[in-house]
Amino acid sequence: MTPNLKEQYDYSKWLSEKELTPIEKTYLTVLIWADKRLRIVDYLESMENLYYKINMQMPRSHTEQYNLDNKFWYWYPLYALGTFSVIAYLVAAISGGLLGFYYSPATAGDPSVAYNQITYIMTDLNFGFMLRSIHRWSAQVMVAAVFLHMLRVYFVGAYKEPRELNWIIGIILISLTLMFGYTGYLLPWDQLSFWAGQIGVEMALSIPILGEWVAQLMFGGFSLGQATLQRMYILHVFVLPFAVTTVIAIHIGIVWMQGIAEPH
C-alpha cells in the first residue's frame, strides 16, 4: 500500500485536522470505532434506503381522497389509543419486572408463599404498595385502551380492505391481552384468584374431546395447586411477554406499511 493511501486511511489524523465541536468529535469517533468492527455504515445506508422507498407503503391516502388535510385534529385522541396501549404495556412491563424480583409462585404454607410475598410487597417493601398499584392500573388501562382502540377501528371502518389481516392480528392481540390479565389475576393466590382459576379449569374441562388435555396443559391438572400457579406464572412472565411483544411489532409494522386509515 502506498504511503499516500495509508495517510488517507489515517482517521485520527483526519479527525484532528478537522475543526469539530466536542459533540461532533465524539460522534465521529464512536461511529468510526463501531464501523471498523460492524460495518455500521453499510447497514445504516440500507436502513436509510428503506426509509426513503415510498413503494414500501401503500400508494393511496384516504385523507387525500376526501380532501381532509387539516380537519382531523379533533379525532386525535381516538387515534392515539393504539399508542396508549403500547405505553401502558411498557409501564406494566417495567413495574412487572420490578415486582418479579420479590414474587415467588409457590402455594406451600398457609397462607401460601405467593400470598405472603404479595403481602410483603404491599406492607414491608419500600414503594411496594405503589409498585403493585402501578402494575395493576397500567394493566387495567391497557385493557381499556385496547377495547376502545378496537371500537374506534370498528366504527370508522378501518378494518376493511386492505387491513383485514391487521384486524385479525388485532383480535389475536386482544385475546392475548385478556390472557395476560387473567394469568396475572391468578398470581396473588387469594380467594378471588383461586375461584377465578376454578372457573377456568371448569371451562377448559367442558370443551368436548380436548377438554382434559387443555386443562392439563394450561392448569396442570383438574384441581388447582402448585402446578396451576407455576403455569400461570410462566405464561405471565415468559410466554406471553415474548408472544405479545412480537405480535405488537408485526401489528405496528403493518400499520406503517399500509398507513393510518385516517378519519373522513
Partner 1 sequence: MKHNADTKKTNTSDAPIVTDGSGLMQNPVPPDDQTPSWSERKSRSTGLAQLTYEYFERARLEDQDLRSRADYLEREVLGFPFWPHEVVRGFAITSFFIGIILFLSAVAPPHIAAPANPSQTPAVILPDWYLYWSFGLLKLEPLNPALSILDGDKLMLDRTFGVLANLVVVGFLAILPFINTGKARRPVEEPFWAAFGVAGVVLAFTLSLLSVKNLVPLNSHLLFDLTFILPVLFGIVFFSLLKTMREGYMYELNRRYYRLRPPKPLNK
Query: Considering the rule CB under 8 A, would residue 56 count as an interface residue with partner 1?
Result: no
Which residues in the 133-162 window bind partner 1 by CB under 8 A? 133-134, 136-138, 140-141, 143-144, 147, 151, 154-161
Site for partner 1 in 245-264 (CB under 8 A): 261, 264
CA angle at 252 for the pair 247 and 258, rounded to the nearest 5°: 125
CA distance 184 to 139: 9
CB 105 within 8 A of CB 233: yes
In the region spanning residues 11 to 30, those forming contacts with partner 1, defined by CB under 8 A, are none
Residue 126 binds partner 1, judged by CB under 8 A: no
Region from 16-24, 26-34, 76-84, 237-245 binding partner 1, contact rule CB under 8 A: 76-84
Spell out the long-range contacts of 185-188 with Cβ–Cβ below 8 A and sequence spacing 24 or more. 186/228, 186/229, 186/232, 187/103, 187/105, 187/114, 187/118, 187/229, 187/232, 187/233, 187/236, 188/114, 188/115, 188/118
Query: According to CB under 8 A, which residues from 158 to 217 bind partner 1?
Result: 158-161, 163-164, 167-168, 171, 175, 178, 181-182, 185, 188-196, 198-199, 202-203, 205-208
Give CA–CA dist 85/174, Å, rounded. 11
Q: Is 80 in the site for partner 1 (CB under 8 A)?
A: yes
CB of 19 to partner 1, least distance (A): 23
Shortest reach from residue 162's CB to partner 1, in Å? 10
Cβ at position 189, least distance to partner 1 in Å? 5
Q: Count the site residues for partner 1 by CB under 8 A.
A: 82
The set of residues, in sequence order, having a beta carbon less than 8 Å from that of 149 and lying 6+ positions away, is 81, 82, 84, 85, 170
The closest of 143, 128, 135, 121 to 92, measured between CA atoms, is: 135
From candidates 14, 127, 129, 256, binder to partner 1 by CB under 8 A: 129
The one among 18, 34, 47, 65 contacting partner 1 by CB under 8 A: 65
Minimum distance of partner 1 from residue 146's CB (angstroms): 9
